[in-house]
Amino acid sequence: MGVGMTFELSTLATQLLAEIAADPAGVVSPSVYETGRILDLAPWLPDCSRRLAFLAAEQNADGSWGGPGGYGIVPTLSAVDALLAVVSSGRTTGMSTTHLQRLTKAASRGLWALVGLLGPDGPAAADMIATELIVPALVEALNARLSALAAEPVAGLEPYAGTVLPLPVGTDPGLLDKLRANPAAAGSKLRHTLEVLGGAAGLANVQPANANLGCSPAATAAWLNASPGAQTDALAYLLDAVRRGDGPVAGVTPITMFEHAWSVSALLGAGIQVPVPDDIRKRMTAALTREGVAVGAGLLCDADTTATTLTALATLGDARRPDVLLRFDTGEHFQCWQGERNPSISANGHVLHAIAGYLGRGSEGDPLRPVADRLANWLVDQQQADGSWLDKWHASPYYATAVCVRAVKSADRDEPIRRASRWVLDTQRDDGSWGVWGGTAEETAYAVQILAAGRAAGVLTEPAIDRGAIFLRDQLARIVSSSAVHPPLWHDKDLYAPRRVITAEVLAALRWANSQ
């Protein structure tokens, strides 16, 4: 790497961290699901017209919203339900006939898409946060609206009056019924998706943390609706969420520690020489408690964020003994939190990286050593036959594979890295990019990082790395100026993109591309 490029990366990384330090809430792309829920649950919030415009702009050509296949079920249900809530109520007062017709047409096209998505040949809903609760809740609400259309018709929606939408393949409506009967059974995990309870008893008894419910605008709005004498700090949280999105809202906000830890560990872990603002250091240090670290104030502490924060602090010269992670240990793998339905591959990768990075070499007598060895073996066992890894927090295998490659590298396991590298070499696109649905800067950044580790493990990866780096450099100006649109690939209640984290990964990949 030339001196000029090295200096440019350091300069861009410095600017990125300064932006992160000045805006601790973090930046997340707007959510179709969450915006739809806000339209329904909080019509009294300002900028309703901008939320409607956002939904109209995000509709796919086939009438759905969101990603392909099962990724479209939750956002399409939410968007259609929100549009019906508007066009079939008194909320159209003052709306032009043309505008009303456009919204009605969007709802009609969405209903047509749902008939296919929810039909017997439709896909299973993608495994996202609380999908097993959100889908039956939305189908129930939407069927109630369609039933009401029979009594109060809306021009343009007559064919759907009285239609009963089925649940998608594999959905168990009994789970939602049990939860509504006993909301306390879900514990703190429910905070992020409190809106699924509707008007269930006990909703108002839940208390917000950091003025929000689970860092979710929809959950917070549901709680406000059920709470007499709504608290002004929770209302302020919602108003800020609307302001930050210029109308639409993010599915999870704030994401302070996620953005801080992932960005710092990516940049410094790649060897980019950059001063980290004191505010970022102080926030990460203060966030690390005996319970771990949470993505943002209002959410549970989790193993993923805890491990990545420990790694980020270690890159700053503040290596902490990672014993706090042991509270997430099941004896086989690590869970993000107690009661997790299925383990996260990437979270376990981050845990291994934090523990193995702390141990280094010559630590055979440390009680953490057998934990690291066990976890390394577990991760290797999870590797797919083609050399990739898959995870529940991201739609792309390139993310999980990059995390796991970094983890097993820290545990001195080279063969899994070679297998992953060969998979990446086989899947590069003609333009030098990588991507599960199409070439993206984010996935290309992960692929380049994997190949950089493969190069160190003896795989000939240089030509592919060079082509990937050219693809990234061609987009760099737009990425750092925030004008690039990153396809949402991260899992929450629907897909989202954390722009600053992606920028950090791109800068890190360009540094790794030329590190010998």
Q: Does residue 1 register a pLDDT over 60?
A: no
Instruction: Give the integer Cα–Cα distance in Å for 301 and 298.
Output: 9
Within a domain: residue 216? Answer: no
211 found inside a domain = no
Band of residue 187 on the pLDDT scale cut at 50, 70, 90 = low
H-helix or E-strand spanning residue 490: strand 490-491
Entry pTM: 0.96
Do 508 and 267 touch, CB atoms closer than 8 A? yes
Range with the lowest mean pLDDT among 2-16, 297-311, 346-360, 447-461? 2-16
> pLDDT tens digits, residue range 14-72?
999 999 999 999 999 999 999 999 999 999 999 999 999 999 999 999 999 999 999 99
* pLDDT at position 2: 52
Same domain, 306 and 390: yes
Same domain as 405, residue 268:
yes
Q: pLDDT-derived band of residue 8, with 50, 70 and 90 as boundaries?
A: very high
Residues 67 and 16 in one domain: no
Phi-psi region of 271 (alpha: psi -120 to 50; beta: other; left: phi over 0): left
Whether residue 344 contacts residue 391, with contact meaning beta carbons closer than 8 Å, is answered with yes
Of the listed ranges 14-18, 105-109, 194-198, 272-276, the least confidently predicted one is: 194-198
Pair 429, 284 in one domain: yes
317 & 379 share domain:
yes
Taking the C-alpha atoms of residue 466 and residue 315, their distance in angstroms, rounded to an integer, is 27
Q: What is the pLDDT of residues 474-507, one digit of tens each?
A: 999 999 998 889 999 999 999 999 999 999 999 9
Q: Which of 187-196, 364-373, 438-447 shows the lowest per-residue confidence on average (mean pLDDT)?
A: 187-196
Which tens digits make up the pLDDT trace of 388-440? 999 999 999 999 999 999 999 999 999 999 999 999 999 999 999 999 999 99
Q: What string of DSSP letters covers 60-93?
A: -TTS--SSSGGGGHHHHHHHHHHHHHHHTSGGGT
Q: Which of 207, 123, 242 is nearest to 171 (CA)?
A: 123
Q: Are residues 286 and 345 in the same domain?
A: yes
- Report yes or no on 177 lying in a domain: no
Give the pLDDT of residue 362: 59
Question: What's the pLDDT score for residue 230?
Answer: 59
User: So what's the pLDDT on residue 229?
Assistant: 67
pLDDT > 90 fraction of the chain, expressed in percent and rounded: 83
What's residue 95's pLDDT? 85
What rounded mean pLDDT belongs to the chain? 93
Residue 3: is its pLDDT beyond 60?
Answer: no
Which of 156, 171, 186 marks a domain boundary? 171
Provide the phi-psi class of 297: left if phi over 0, else alpha when psi is between -120 and 50, else beta: beta
Does 398 share its domain with 271? yes
The three-class DSSP label of residue 492 is coil
* Pair (275, 406) in one structural domain: yes
Gap between the Cα atoms of 354 and 346, Å rounded: 12
Residue whose structure tokens are 């920028």: 503
pLDDT > 70: percent of the chain: 95
In a domain, 49, yes or no: no
Euclidean distance between CA atoms 264 and 267, whole angstroms = 5
| CB-count exposure of residue 118 (10 Å: 0-12, 13-18, 19+) | buried
Q: State the pLDDT confidence band at 170, using cuts at 50, 70 and 90.
A: confident
Position 94 scores a pLDDT of 78
214-240: per-residue pLDDT in tens?
Answer: 999 999 999 888 876 657 899 999 999
CA atoms of 243 and 23, how far apart (whole Å): 14
73 and 155 belong to one structural domain = yes
Query: CA 355, CA 369: separation in Å to the nearest integer?
Result: 8
pLDDT of res. 358: 95
pLDDT at 181: 82
Say if 391 falls within a structural domain.
yes
CB 399 within 8 A of CB 441: no
Cis, peptide link before residue 166, omega less than 30° from 0: no
pLDDT for res 144: 96
Q: Answer yes or no: is 107 within a domain.
A: yes
Q: Is the dihedral of CA 73, 488, 19, 306 positive or negative?
A: positive
Under 8 Å between Cβ of 488 and 250: no
The pLDDT value given to residue 497: 98
What pLDDT is stored for residue 199 in this prediction? 64
CATH number at residue 394: 1.50.10.20
For β-strands 490-491 and 301-302, DSSP reports them as: unpaired
Predicted pLDDT of residue 360 = 85
Instruction: Decide if 123 is inside a domain.
Output: yes
Query: Sign of torsion, CA 364 368 370 375?
Result: negative
Tokens of 144: 């109630």
**Which of 144, 171, 198 delimits the end of a domain?**
171
Domain end point (choices 171, 193, 215): 171
Q: What is the pLDDT of residue 210?
A: 87
Strand 293-294 relative to strand 495-496, pairing: unpaired
> Is-contact 160 108, C-beta < 8 A?
yes
Does residue 67 share a domain with residue 11?
A: no
> Is residue 425 helix, strand or coil?
helix
Total of domains in the chain: 2
- Cβ count near 181 (within 10 Å): 10
Whether residues 375 and 449 share a domain: the answer is yes
pLDDT for residue 198: 78
Q: What is the dihedral of CA 37, 40, 41, 44, to 10 degrees?
A: 120
pLDDT in tens, 288-335: 999 999 999 999 999 999 999 999 999 999 999 999 999 999 999 999
Which range marks the domain in which residue 107 is found? 59-171
Q: Is 152 exposed, middle or buried (0-12, 13-18, 19+ CB in 10 A)?
A: exposed
Based on the fold, state whether residues 15 and 161 are members of the same structural domain: no
pLDDT surpasses 70 at 361: no
Residue 399 phi/psi, 5-degree rounding, is -65, -55
201 pLDDT higher than 60: no
Q: Is residue 321 part of a domain?
A: yes
